[in-house]
Chains A and B, each alone.
Chain A
Amino acid sequence: MTGRVTPLGLALLSAAAWALSLGVLFARPEPLIATIPLALVLLTLALPRRAPEYALTCALSADRVFEDEGVTVTITLTATSPLAVVILRGPLARDVELASGKHRAVTSLGPGETARVSYDVRCPVRGVHDFGHIVVHVRDRFGIRAWERHHAEPRVLRVYPRVAPVRSLPRPLRTQASVGDYVSKALGEGIEPGEIRQFAPGDAIRQVNWRASLRLGSLYVTQHHREHNADVVLMLDTLAQVGAAHATTLDWSVRAAASLATAYLARKDRVGLINCGGTIDWVRPGSGRVQYERLADTLLRATVVFTYVQKSLAFVPPRVLPPHALVIAITPLLDPRFTRTALDLAARGFDLVVVAVSPVDVTRATLPASALNDLACRLWALDRVTQLDEFRRHGIPVLEWNAASEPLEAALAGFHRRRARLATAG
């Protein structure tokens, strides 16, 4: 850490030069005398000074939060040498707002003294925010010499998309062999009672239905339905987005994906994710808490990468897109390439559901109120009806969600899929 002369030192030098010149020009000693305080301060620069020494720590109250939640940042500065004036600039990421307190602080510390700066931030937008950059600016007591150090440490705050409670989920057509929450027609191990039949050698005693056995005079057992889980793949359209910052169609899509992932994982389903945009990345289907972390980590980085190149799902490994998976495409349907990809998936026999995040309301919120804008939005809404009908003509269930005005749960509650094969699931 090297010291430097502050702009105040240069200003004092300029004022001193000006005063001395005026004194000589006007042949008056007073301006020369007035220079004495300025010169004395500047002379302190000639004294040798050691670079300030201190210990700095920074802590976040949480390193993972959901959107709109808050975090407390606490910075502790302990001086080991005198620090006449310390200007501390704490970390404040770009998309993060100060909720209370200030991230800048000015203090003065003697050797061994400690200063603690604490402030609360609110995280309105998902993402990985850098909280590792702290600037410590130390000045001498007259403010003419300064030392500055930038402390950069790997300290990030992950802000996960907001999760809304969802109970009415689109049911998959086909289930997998593992245990889950979907009651199958097939009989076997489970807790949902099915038919009653006569006892056969090999049946467990705990399956005996004693009430029926007593009434009918011979042993009867209760059979149960199997309960299976399903593979669900969330396909997120990251080709285009519209809307105001922090409330774009992509933001709403990500929130929907996080909510659906949470709800399906709670049902013991295996959930995967494909970010389908300028770059394609994915998370293999899996279940459990760790899988949620994987999905959330991928979702919070989801961003629109513009490209002219048509990305093909043919490059996606079959393990990521299992043949019997329920694919939920979450899209604002702004880019025809995503529509083609979705239709291609349906043609390949995938069980596809389209959640169309309406861009009309999201865009309308950013426009000034005028008759022309109203007309344009109405025409756009009509155009989207045609677009959605194209999916329906192909037998693909489509759910339109007005994210700005309607909770996802309300949109899903009104979504009834006709599933001929549902009865035979499992």
Chain B
Amino acid sequence: MIRIPAAALALVLFVIPWTIALAKPVAVAGGVALALAGVGIGGLWRAPLLASACVFLIEYTGALWLARAPVGVWGAVAFGLALLLLLASIELGRGGRRATIDTRVLRSQCAAWLGFTTATLGATLLGLSLASGLTASIPFTAAPFLAGLAVLGVLFALATIVKRPAR
């Protein structure tokens, strides 16, 4: 049952880059990612699904790079949400394998993820307004270095949160 929404999310991840650039490399990367996602969804295996998520990201970034399209914020948010929900749905599916699933779980999960989507949209809007204010103050030549440093900082912070001692 959980495989149907997961497959739909994989299709969304496959289609979003196509709306940006209809190119052969994008199609190839998307096909590979879709195949990996199919394996992961079919067997409820984590590793192929994570690999497919990475390939989907390559497809998406490649499409953006090839098309040299203007920045599309909501498409990026939709892509990120679809990626997150795909990974989360398979994890839920693994937990519910060969199990009786109570409808209360489905209700609470739907409510949780709807709330989270709303929060994501709000956070994105907030982030965009902050970023637009900062853009003017950052020198053009320093921007790549600042971006790299920020990425490293974010990654370090997330890794610290994930790897800190359990409570």
**Residues of A near any B CB (own CB < 8 A):** 2-24, 26-43, 45-46, 48-49, 51, 84-85, 87, 101-102, 104-109, 115, 117, 137, 139, 141-143
Instruction: Assess whether B84 is interfacial by the CB under 8 Å rule.
Output: yes
Residues of A within 8 A of B130 (CB): none
Residues of A within 8 A of B53 (CB): 11, 15, 18
Residues of B within 8 A of A42 (CB): 158, 161-162
Beyond the given A15-B54, A30-B60, please list 18 additional residue pairs across the A-B interface where CB-CB is below 8 A.
Answer: A2-B167, A7-B46, A15-B83, A20-B155, A23-B61, A27-B144, A30-B71, A30-B72, A30-B75, A37-B80, A37-B84, A49-B167, A51-B167, A85-B108, A101-B100, A106-B96, A106-B99, A141-B108
Instruction: Assess whether B148 is interfacial by the CB under 8 Å rule.
Output: yes
Q: List 20 A-B contacts (CB under 8 A).
A: A11-B46, A12-B84, A26-B65, A29-B71, A29-B76, A31-B60, A33-B80, A34-B76, A35-B80, A40-B123, A41-B84, A42-B158, A42-B161, A48-B167, A87-B96, A104-B100, A107-B104, A108-B105, A117-B100, A142-B116
Residue of A14, A38, A43, A142 near B161 (CB, 8 A) is: A43
A14 near B50: Cβ-Cβ < 8 Å: yes
Residue of B50, B72, B97, B162 near A9 (CB, 8 A) is: B162
A18–B154 alpha-carbon span in the complex (Å):
12
**CB within 8 Å for A106 and B100 given contacts A15-B57, A30-B79, A36-B124:** yes
**CB within 8 Å for A18 and B54 given contacts A26-B65, A30-B71, A142-B112:** yes
Residues of B within 8 A of A49 (CB): 167
A4 near B166: Cβ-Cβ < 8 Å: yes
Instruction: Assess whether B138 is interfacial by the CB under 8 Å rule.
Output: no
Residues of B within 8 A of A29 (CB): 71, 76
**CB within 8 Å for A40 and B92 given contacts A22-B57, A84-B108:** no
A122–B50 alpha-carbon span in the complex (Å):
40
B105 near A85: Cβ-Cβ < 8 Å: yes
Residues of A within 8 A of B75 (CB): 30
- Closest chain A CB from B51 CB (angstroms): 10
Residue of B87, B102, B107, B116 near A40 (CB, 8 A) is: B116
Residues of B within 8 A of A27 (CB): 144
B71 near A8: Cβ-Cβ < 8 Å: no
A101–B99 alpha-carbon span in the complex (Å):
9
Interface residue tally for chain B (C-beta within 8 Å):
60
A178–B99 alpha-carbon span in the complex (Å):
58
A19–B46 alpha-carbon span in the complex (Å):
18
Instruction: Assess whether B23 is interfacial by the CB under 8 Å rule.
Output: no
Instruction: Assess whether B119 is interfacial by the CB under 8 Å rule.
Output: yes
Within 8 A of A (CB), among B121-148: 123-124, 127, 144, 147-148
- Closest chain A CB from B102 CB (angstroms): 4
Residue of A45, A137, A142 near B88 (CB, 8 A) is: A142
Residues of B within 8 A of A108 (CB): 102, 104-105, 107-109
A21–B96 alpha-carbon span in the complex (Å):
33
Instruction: Assess whether B95 is interfacial by the CB under 8 Å rule.
Output: yes
Residues of A within 8 A of B99 (CB): 87, 102, 104-106
A206–B93 alpha-carbon span in the complex (Å):
81
The digit string for B40-80, where 1 denotes a CB below 8 A from any CB of A, is 00000010011001100110111011000001110111011
Q: Which 8 A-B pairs have the closest CB atoms?
A: A34-B80, A104-B99, A33-B76, A107-B102, A30-B76, A141-B112, A8-B91, A108-B108
Residues of A within 8 A of B46 (CB): 7, 11
A24–B166 alpha-carbon span in the complex (Å):
32
Residues of A within 8 A of B4 (CB): none
A199–B167 alpha-carbon span in the complex (Å):
95
B155 near A36: Cβ-Cβ < 8 Å: no
B95 near A106: Cβ-Cβ < 8 Å: yes
**CB within 8 Å for A31 and B105 given contacts A11-B87, A36-B124:** no
A28–B92 alpha-carbon span in the complex (Å):
32
A117–B101 alpha-carbon span in the complex (Å):
11
A260–B140 alpha-carbon span in the complex (Å):
96
B60 near A3: Cβ-Cβ < 8 Å: no
Residues of B within 8 A of A15 (CB): 50, 53-54, 57, 83, 87
A84 near B112: Cβ-Cβ < 8 Å: yes
Interface centre among A15, A48, A84 (most CB of B within 10 A): A15
Using CB atoms, name the residue of chain A closest to B53: A15
**CB within 8 Å for A109 and B84 given contacts A11-B50, A41-B116:** no
A45–B161 alpha-carbon span in the complex (Å):
6
A6–B87 alpha-carbon span in the complex (Å):
12
Interface centre among A16, A17, A42 (most CB of B within 10 A): A16
A117–B75 alpha-carbon span in the complex (Å):
43
Using CB atoms, name the residue of chain A closest to B159: A13
Residues of A within 8 A of B100 (CB): 101-102, 104-106, 117
A40–B84 alpha-carbon span in the complex (Å):
11
A348–B91 alpha-carbon span in the complex (Å):
70
B166 near A34: Cβ-Cβ < 8 Å: no
Residues of B within 8 A of A106 (CB): 95-96, 99-102, 105
A161–B99 alpha-carbon span in the complex (Å):
31
